[in-house]
Amino acid sequence: MERDDGSIGPAMAAADFLLPYTGWGTAERQVFDQIRGRVLDIGCGAGRHSLEAQDRGLEVVAIDISPGAVEVSRGRGVQDVRLLPMAEVDERLGTFDSVLMMCGNFGLAGSAAETERWLRTMHRLTSLRGQILLDTVDPYQDADAQDLAYMARNRARGVLPGQVTIRIRYGKRVTPWLDLLLVSPSELTELAYRAGWRVGQVVSGEPPDFYAVLEKA
């Protein structure tokens, strides 16, 4: 994983996308176990969350922008998986009770303003007991000197410190640059509140990761 300031680190291992429920961490299982009703899986990857939800008898709509991810998810047994970007999610998909934004996908909207707009969209497309199950990275935990300089640059630009511009490289293949928003629990609470949600639960994972459940306020 490459950041636009030259920082390079390991991306999520390929095997992690294929883990069965028994291989997930305790925090991830604890939050996922609150899943209910009709499910929207944002950025489904290889479909491991969708498959577990299906195994529990739930109806799932899984989406991803990667044709390869859609192909893999379908091949692994996800029944309704679609090549669809977040920006095109609307009423045509119907109403959902649970929205999954796992594996860091809560930050996919890219900025605080876009994340708030996305949360408002999810508020509109979810039932009265709608919820969002998510995980993210607290950018302030374990921050080194380069991270601190990056966050200071963001503050000077007027954006949240945890907004990062990254891309993934594998051999000669590389993704386009994308903005990803990383937030602390307190920043998550503020963003959620402005969009009509409240943080129902926060569960610490392996630092700096944490999991959370958003409920309608």
Whichever domain contains 39, its CATH number is: 3.40.50.150
Nearest to 217 by CA among 184, 187, 191: 191
For the chain, how many structural domains are there in total?
1
Q: Alpha-carbon distance 95 to 82, whole Å?
A: 16
In a domain? residue 50:
yes
Can you tell me the mean pLDDT for 145-150?
97
The parent domain of residue 50 ranges over 21-140+182-216
In a domain? residue 8:
no
Quick one: pLDDT at residue 124? 97
In a domain? residue 155:
no
In a domain? residue 211:
yes
CB environment 150-182: b (16+ within 10 A), e (fewer): bbeebeeeebbbbbbebeeeeeeeeeeeebbbb
In a domain? residue 71:
yes
pLDDT in tens, 58-101: 999 999 999 999 999 999 999 999 999 999 999 999 999 999 99
In a domain? residue 9:
no
Helix (H) or strand (E) holding 136: strand 126-137
In a domain? residue 10:
no
In a domain? residue 177:
no
pLDDT in tens, 155-204: 999 999 999 999 999 999 999 999 999 999 999 999 999 999 999 999 99
Q: pTM, whole model, 2 decimals?
A: 0.95
